Homo-oligomer: A and B are copies of this chain.
Amino acid sequence: MKRKTRQREIIKHVFQSEKRPLNPLEILSLAQGILTGLSLATVYRAIKELVEEEWLITVEVPGLSLYYEINHHHHHHHFYCYSCSKVYEVDGCVPVEALTPKGFLLESHEIILSGQCSSCMHG
């Protein structure tokens, strides 16, 4: 049966405290801050399980490797910061249906804003 392990708990904890989408290497370095010696393979194994149990969902940002975020079950988009390379959740949406070409069926959409996050702008 499935066991509760320190490494998986730490990985979940990292998502809860960062409150933003993370990629495998970000997860690794944040989690290694708590548990030195954690391996990347374990991060990947944990991600896979957490996505399967729908605790995490995948975030695909064009040109970047996969990011993952806690599954909050609400529609939102993302902001990518060119300076620190972090991805943030962005609430709200805009009426993109208007863009759908005639005869096409719109099933989903993705909006990725890019620029500088507030930490990089100010602080």
Which of A's residues lie within 8 Å of B, judged by CB?
A: 60-63, 77, 79, 81-82, 88, 90-96, 98-118, 121-122
Contact = CB atoms under 8 A, between A and B. Distances in A.
Given A62-B62, A106-B115, A121-B105, A90 B94 contact: no
B94 A98 contact: yes
Main secondary structure of the interface of A (DSSP, over half): mixed
B118 A103 contact: yes
B99 A104 contact: no
B109 A99 contact: no
B109 A88 contact: no
A109 B114 contact: yes
Contact of A109 (B106, B107, B113): B113
Contacts of A90: 99-101
A75 to B, nearest CB: 12
B111 A110 contact: yes
A79 B98 contact: no
Q: Which of the listed residues A62, A93, A115 has the most CB atoms from chain B within 10 Å of its own CB?
A: A62
Contacts of A103: 117-118, 121-122
Contact of A61 (B62, B116, B117): B62
